[in-house]
Structure 1
Amino acid sequence: MAKLQLSLKGRALRYLSMREHSRLELGRKLARHAQEGEDVEAVLDALEAAKLLSQERFAESLVHRRAARFGNQRILTELQSHRIEDESISQIREQLSKDEAERARAILARKYHSPPADAAERAKRMRFLQQRGFSHDAIRAAIRAQETDDE
């Protein structure tokens, strides 16, 4: 039995029903399936006009998914890679900066259940948080909190 071919709009709606996508990301996915004469940009414009595709909703969704695992820098870099507007990114930066140290502390508490035994262990934990995109201030606050919690 032959597989049913989805139109670009149908395919886009299927992708959007699974999760929010940025315009860039959805355009890349649809471009792979576009037949000659089909205009991906027109489909994306129609979806935005119908409020089915929204950069703001995508940015909120991405921040919500990533905030429990990553630091501000990593989240903001990912938003920039999706070509989110600078104005939206600056607002998100302000929101994220309020609780970055608390998120770093929570990640350390989940991964390491005791304070660092020595300087090498402390450096290892700092590198772990640094790779996840946390700022130096948040890293220091999280390490300090972990050391004082167990004393």
Structure 2
Amino acid sequence: MDDSEKQKQKNYVLWLLGRQDYSRKELERKLSQRQVPQAFSCELLDWCEQHGFLDDNRFCAGFVRRAADKRHGPRRIMADAQQKGLAKEQVSEAIDALDIDWFELAIEAYTRKFRTTDKQLDYKEKAKRMRYLTARGFDYQQIEFALASEANDE
């Protein structure tokens, strides 16, 4: 790999990082798709970390915050973050640092999706609503709390 090609790849990575934060794993994946040699890829990403352009902790905190703003539950956030190449402990720390009330977030996601409701939900409708909240990443206790809160509102 000659110097002009190395500079081209470096510019590409800096252009990507200038637009948004990425995890190291995501950038490794993008560079491998461009068929950049593994040795140069590691060297380039190490350089980016040394200069503060790439920071997995910063990316993780931002990712968790954005996912919570989208009303995703802790399970979904954990699964999505691991797909992005973040460590489980790192994500857990970021989730704990935000100090989110997951029960309130479950209620918010539920009421936003299901604005109008009948007084008595039949089994199929209740199952549909539970599947929705499960897909959003909430656990059973949080889902039951959201469903119960709606019943109490009426």
Tell me the TM-score normalized by structure 1.
0.84
Do 1:11 and 1:30's aligned partners in 2 also have CA atoms closer than 8 Å? Answer: no
- Comparing 45-54 and 102-111, the one that deviates more: 102-111
- Which residue of the other structure, out of 108, 111, 116, is the alignment partner of 1:109? 111
The offset of 1:96, in angstroms, is 6.0
Tell me what 2:25 maps to: 24
Structure 2: 5+ residue stretches without partners: none
- Comparing 37-46 and 98-107, the one that deviates more: 37-46
Do 1:34 and 1:40's aligned partners in 2 also have CA atoms closer than 8 Å? Answer: no
Tell me what 2:91 maps to: 89
Tell me what 2:54 maps to: 53
Do 1:108 and 1:142's aligned partners in 2 also have CA atoms closer than 8 Å? Answer: yes
Divergent runs of 4+, >3 A: 34-38, 95-98
Structure 1: 5+ residue stretches without partners: none
Provide Cα deviations, 1:100-132, integer angstroms capped at 9, x if missing partner: 111111111111112354232122101110112
- Comparing 139-148 and 39-48, the one that deviates more: 139-148
The offset of 1:35, in angstroms, is 5.0
Higher helix share: 2
Tell me the TM-score normalized by structure 2.
0.82
Percent of residue pairs bearing the same amino acid type: 32
Do 1:104 and 1:129's aligned partners in 2 also have CA atoms closer than 8 Å? Answer: yes
**2-side partners of 1:88 and 1:25: how far apart?**
16
Do 1:72 and 1:96's aligned partners in 2 also have CA atoms closer than 8 Å? Answer: no
